[in-house]
Amino acid sequence: MAAPRAVWLLPLANAFDWTLEAGRLQKRDVVVIVGPEQHGLACVVAARQADAGTIVLVGTPADGERLALGANLGADHTITATSDSTVGQVRAALNGGAADLIVNTSGAGPELLDTLIKLAGKRARVVESGLARGRAPDFDLETVTARALSVVGARGRSPAAIDRAIDSLDTGGQPHPLDALPTSELGLEHVDAVLRPADATTPARRCTTRHPPLVHRHRRHGRQGRCGTRLTNPIGSCLLRPLAGPTVCHLRGPRNRRRFGIRAPTHATCRL
Cα(27)–Cα(29) distance, rounded to whole angstroms? 6
Last residue of a domain, which of 169, 198, 230?
Answer: 169
Query: What CATH number is attached to the domain comprising 104?
Result: 3.40.50.720
Asked if pLDDT for residue 67 goes beyond 90, the answer is yes
Last residue of a domain, which of 169, 196, 222?
Answer: 169
pLDDT band at 99 (very low <50, low <70, confident <90, very high): very high
The dihedral built from the CA positions of residue 11, 12, 13 and 19, taken in this order, carries a sign that is: positive
Same domain, 233 and 151: no
Closest CA to 81 of 131, 36, 138, 129: 36
Same domain, 155 and 34: yes
Same domain, 152 and 252: no
The structure's pTM equals 0.71
Cα(167)–Cα(169) distance, rounded to whole angstroms? 6
Cα(190)–Cα(197) distance, rounded to whole angstroms? 13
Same domain, 18 and 133: yes
Q: Is residue 200 part of a domain?
A: no
pLDDT digits over 209-249, tens only? 444 444 444 433 333 333 433 333 333 333 333 333 333 33
Asked if pLDDT for residue 251 goes beyond 80, the answer is no
Q: What mean pLDDT, rounded, does the chain reach?
A: 76
Closest CA to 271 of 249, 250, 256: 249
Q: Is residue 202 part of a domain?
A: no
Q: Is residue 180 part of a domain?
A: no
Asked if pLDDT for residue 86 goes beyond 60, the answer is yes
80 or 259: whose pLDDT is higher?
80
Same domain, 144 and 73: yes
> Which domain covers residue 261, as residue numbers?
214-271
Question: In the predicted model, what is the mean pLDDT of residues 111-138?
Answer: 85
CA–centroid distance for 6 within its chain: 13
Number of domains composing the chain:
2
Cα(148)–Cα(91) distance, rounded to whole angstroms? 19
**Half-sphere exposure of 35 toward its Cβ, with a 13 Å CA cutoff?**
22
Contact 162, 239 (CB under 8 A): yes
Same domain, 230 and 143: no
Same domain, 141 and 32: yes
Q: Is residue 65 part of a domain?
A: yes
